[in-house]
Structure 1
């Protein structure tokens, strides 16, 4: 975890210590310290704040991805500005969470990212979807038309995608459909492959675009 707010980091670490799913191996208060410590082996997932003293979290993500392309970076920040969201994703972030996210949902997001997903707080997902809608209506989008590959989805995959578009977390989707989180992850990977997308936002944008056309 790269977080300069000591009280916030300590509270999250206490919650992680009670979890059987995740373990916080390192905590750094600056991006520079994290880069120095992570030149060797890195954890599976990094939680990264944006507003750090010195180097920003977004710049850190770009640099750590150059050093360790396989590492997964989740932004955990208070900022909701669209520019920062897309800068973080372009830098290589696998997801974007707001700091008001309950700790149990942060853990769920870590597991989701580790399972191949791209977790986002619902407010962030809506901003991403809105961006792609605007690009679609202005005919300048660089992603395929919304209905290009929807027809290839199985009925269960459509159900999963519908819940995904409503902001449900992977565990919540599993609870709704009576399937395991692992099965949800499998469906999500297949959805991404069939829709030729790489993120939750892109998948939801295609699905919503089709709904609007229908």
Structure 2
């Protein structure tokens, strides 16, 4: 399915929505980091319980793995899919090399998020609320982008593969739900009763 024959409106809209949500989560984490820098003993608004909190993540070495707070990556990185989504809706057409670079960026984001998920669950043993928001939009964005780069000819010129990728786009929501379920299962097996914690937080118990 050639990029020249169709404009991926739904994909573009998702990129915009995911970018706004992801950027907002990164902004909130950045604000919380500023609060910690001003007062290391401050109680953060996202610290809901011993297992559901941002503080432990932000203060860990994993929270600044590149030498600066990870949320800064989100503040800058989410601008790329936002611009791409808006440009697509405006009628822009991108060359194959551009889509390849975009795919590399999204793949890096997905890989980094997977690593952070494992660190949060198996090392820090906490789940950061705003981090989870970032995970929630990065995962489907990766799935959708990989399929889009297949159907638009970036990965392959084989028409059959492009058509199959286009049909698989409808399964991205299901794949995303399965990914979420795997994360919850990982947390449960590590002893983080995520669902129980959320119920207690919501009910005030």
TM-score (norm 1): 0.31
Structure with bigger RCO (C-alpha 8 Å, 6+ apart): 2
TM-score (norm 2): 0.32
Give the structure with the larger strand fraction.
1
